[in-house]
Structure 1
Amino acid sequence: MVRGKKGTLHLEFNPFRALSFVVHGIFTRMGGQSAAPFGSLNVGLSTGDDRQMVEKNRQIIAETLGNSPCIYLNQVHSDTVLVLQGSRDEYTRDTVGVQVADALVTNIPNLALAIQVADCQPVLLVDPVKKVVANIHSGWKGSISNIIGKSVDAMYENFGSNPKDILAGIGPSLGPCCSEFINYTQEIPAHLWQYKDEKDHFDFWRISQDQLINKGVAPENITLAGVCTKCSADAFFSYRNNNTTGRFAAIIKITSTSKTGL
């Protein structure tokens, strides 16, 4: 864990840290302004938390990132990938939370991409050759629609990224220890049942790894945090553990200068 401003803590992926043009972090629930049950660094506006507190929490994260504009989505568990191109000035505060999508891809420097999660997988992608980044919200619905694979496709189709060059990081999320789906026959396609154990727990971490590999990402370029949010609900928000809870933020951006801080 890396300590940031105002008591925040965030996780970083070592392969990403080695890249001078990438700034990223998966923030814990600590260091924010929200009261229980959203204590304390909740970035989710649709959780029932006080909006002013959420805005303050987002500002704390923005300050840690160097005050770059930060794009939050209206996440709906879709397979929609939003590609941001052109000038950073096109993406103002008015665009935040308006776009309905569950993944973001860009090559625009100093524009932070944010994903909000509380058991779903935050999956971060970096192409160090073309200097392109992606941030993906992959819950179980996103997994069965392969939003991860579609994000790799978007990097290739819009920016010419070679999947063999892409680095991937799978963040804290519901682990195979806790991802029970008692109605899996109605919810999850049969071709994914191979990832189920005898207790009807699904290994969505392995599903995500295989989806990346099937798109051409090298296995050695995939980093798995291996942290179950339900088991670590003191550090990360977990819907399965608490139901009424906040959302923690996964952030990534390209920087045109050497990194200082996050």
Structure 2
Amino acid sequence: MHAVVSRLGGESRPPFDGLNLSHGVGDDPAAVAANRKRVRQMTGGVHVYTRQNHGTSIRTITREAVDRGEAIQTNPAPADALISDVPGIRLLIQTADCQAVMLYEPQKRVVANIHCGWRGSVADIIGRTVLRMVDQFGCDPGQMTAAIGPSLGPCCAEFVNFENELPRQFWRFRVGAHHFDFWRISRHQLTTAGLADGNVHGPGMCTRCNPQLFFSYRSARETGRFAALIGMDMDINRTRQSEKE
């Protein structure tokens, strides 16, 4: 299963009003805890957050880490991508204009969730995460499906200093004088990593253009974070087969 949680509902007060899920933006910790509990009740499973820092660290959530309670630390290690093959885990990425890129490989039953802002795009954290799934779990990129969550669209992704911030290979994705289509950039990085173009699903919804539904840093600066999450439930058919064996 995968889902995107909007800012609607929740306990947070302005400027974080709604379902803010981040402890790192100055919101009341009790409100954030209540919001996270509400999301757990809606989606079930064990929710795993991470401290995102626009880097390239990738964290794998193993069965052993879950059993030891390390998967749900209140102060987790920094990472901008999460990978797991453990059923019942929900990998959450918090955003407010950046992309959450969710991946699923059905043969090996592995999921990943990537926090991908423009710095992550420059560092190709998408390609790095796909490669980690291949190296660690034997995943086949050709079997993967990807979903890009609501994020800054080409209408609002303005980079007036792009010549100093973005590599030249990104310039072909420029729209107008200073705007860039990072949805297309992510699609390009996913297909370059081996995914089929038809297996990449884009959001078509800009966070800055829809502040009533989503938090947007470019729109409000001081604001909350919504989340995209992905995880697997137990495969009942496989469980029954194992019981017969």
TM-score (norm 1): 0.87
Aligned residues of 1:105 and 1:155 also touching (Cα < 8 A): yes
Matching residue within 71, 78, 89 for 2:67: 89
Matched, 1:197 2:187: no
Larger Rg: 2
How far apart are residue 95 of structure 1 and its match? 2.1
Q: Aligned equivalents of 1:64 and 1:32: distance in 2? A: 12
- Shift in Å at residue 97 of structure 1? 3.8
Give the secondary structure class of the aligned counterpart of 2:218: helix
Paired with 2:79 and 2:2, the residues of 1 have a C-alpha distance of 20
Aligned residues: 235
Q: Work out which of the residue numbers 33, 37, 41 in structure 1 matches 2:19.
A: 41
1:71–1:97 CA contact under 8 A, matched in 2:
no
Structure 2 distance, partners of 1:198, 1:94, is 44
Q: Could you tell me whether the CA contact under 8 Å between 1:120 and 1:140 is conserved in 2?
A: yes
| 2:81 aligns with one of 72, 95, 103 | 103
Asked if 1:119 is matched to 2:97, the reply is yes
Q: CA deviation at 1:187?
A: 1.1
Q: Give yes or no for the alignment of 1:55 onto 2:37.
A: no
- Counterpart of 1:76, as a letter, is N
Distance apart, 1:112 and its partner CA: 1.2
Q: Does residue 76 of the first structure (1) align with residue 53 of the second (2)?
A: yes
Are positions 1:225 and 2:203 aligned together? yes
- Structure 1 alignment gaps of length 5 or more: 1-22
- RMSD after superposition: 1.3
Offset, 1:76: 0.2
Q: Supply the AA of the counterpart residue of 1:166.
A: M
Following TM superposition, where does structure 1 have runs of at least 4 consecutive aligned residues deviating by more than 3 angstroms?
91-94
Matching residue of 1:11: none
Cα offset, 1:92, TM superposition: 4.1
Contact 1:43 1:58 in 2 (8 A): yes
CA gap of 1:159–1:124, structure 2 versus 1, over 3 A, is same
Q: Distance in 2 between matches of 1:169 and 1:244?
A: 27
Q: Report the TM-score when normalising by structure 2.
A: 0.92
Shift of 1:93: 6.7
Deviation at 1:48, TM superposition (A): 1.0
Q: Establish whether residue 24 from structure 1 lines up as the match of residue 6 from structure 2.
A: no
**Partner residue of 2:243?**
none
In structure 2, stretches of 5+ residues that fail to align are 237-245
Q: Secondary structure at the match of 2:219?
A: helix
Tell me the CA shift for residue 54 of structure 1. Answer: 0.5
- Contact 1:195–1:207, Cα closer than 8 Å, also in 2: yes
Identity over aligned residues, as a percent? 42
Q: How big is each residue's C-alpha offset from its partner over 1:94-133, in whole Å with a ceiling of 9 and x where there is no partner?
A: 6244211100001011111110000000110000111000
